[in-house]
Homo-oligomer: A and B are copies of this chain.
Amino acid sequence: MAVKKEEGIFAEERKHMIVDLVNKNYKTTVSNLCSEFSVSPATIRNDLRELEDSGFLKRTHGGAISNRKANYEPNSYQKEIEYIDEKKAIAKMALQCINEGDTIALDTGTTTFELAKLLVDFQKLTVVTNDLQIAAFLERNSDSNIIIAGGAVRRNFHCTTGKKAIDTIKDLNVDKTFLASNGVSAKKGISTPTIDMAGVKSVLIELADEVILLTDSSKMDKSTFVRFASLNQIDLLITDSGADKEYIDFLRAQGVEVEVCETEKSENK
């Protein structure tokens, strides 16, 4: 692995190389990467955080693991979803917006997946989604009509993106779109880590009479790489009570309708 560049290596370049290294060696440590690239731990951690957000690897304490073949065994261990209780509570509140017979769009995401789990009792729903897991779940467990966006599958996000995905859904009309995002900020709008995912989200917004954004509190007042909408394109934002109250008031002052749900405590987890 004598990949040491003597001088001037761009940050982007380094990130690419980190991904390659992790994929080749299956894992790597922060200190490893520090000496490999002659930068400080803080820089490496920044890189790793960004790369994890974009889905290129999985962070652990002390380093990172490749996420490419992490789940070989049918039932092997996966790290728990963070903020799962918050996401469930948000989904439960979002469910109130859905009526029998509706046509809805579900963006890819863990919160929207939780919402999908609550749709099993509807009889005449039509669901448009770009998420393979949501589509597979609903196909198996519900009576909904399902339309999935086609095209390239984005690795580690089990969703489709790109032109073909957009073409599949762009001429549809839905009553409501339930969106997910990685960052919500009054200044910087609503954002997601990659351009191709942003494209699909933009289209999902266009399809809908009403756009509902589901965002747990950990993503409030944050922004990631690509902005795909401004807050005034959102008809309703649902978040959990962990969100900063002043920030919610601030958003409301900007004209955003915000609903806050209470997280149900769960002992068993």
Closest to A133 in B: B136
Min Cβ gap A59→B in Å is: 9
Does the CB pair A60–B164 fall under 8 Å?
no
Of residues 6 through 33 on chain A, the ones whose CB sits less than 8 Å from some CB of chain B are 8, 10-13, 15-16, 18-20, 23, 26-27, 29
The number of chain A residues with a CB under 8 A from chain B is: 68
> Of A50-58, A100-108, A177-185, A252-260, which stretch is located at the interface?
A50-58
Does the CB pair B143–A152 fall under 8 Å?
no
Asked if A155 lies at the interface with its beta carbon under 8 angstroms from chain B, I say yes
Does the CB pair B168–A60 fall under 8 Å?
no
Does the CB pair B165–A16 fall under 8 Å?
no
Known: A60-B13, A167-B167. A153 touches B139 (CB 8 A): yes
Known: A16-B77, A26-B3, A80-B54. A165 touches B145 (CB 8 A): no
Residues of B within 8 A of A63 (CB): 10
Does the CB pair A155–B168 fall under 8 Å?
no
> Of A68-76, A226-234, A237-245, which stretch is located at the interface?
A68-76
Quickly give the copy total for this chain.
2
- 21 A-B residue pairs with CB within 8 Å: A8-B29, A16-B76, A16-B77, A18-B77, A19-B76, A20-B73, A20-B77, A23-B75, A53-B268, A68-B143, A69-B143, A71-B75, A74-B74, A132-B135, A132-B136, A132-B139, A147-B153, A150-B151, A150-B160, A167-B168, A168-B168
7 more A-B residue pairs beyond the given contacts A10-B63, A69-B143, with a C-beta to C-beta distance below 8 A:
A10-B27, A13-B27, A68-B143, A139-B158, A145-B152, A146-B153, A148-B148
Q: Chain A interface (Cβ within 8 Å of chain B)?
A: 1, 3, 8, 10-13, 15-16, 18-20, 23, 26-27, 29, 51, 53-54, 56, 58, 60-63, 65, 68-77, 79-80, 120, 132-133, 135-136, 139-143, 145-153, 155-156, 158, 160, 164-165, 167-169, 268-269
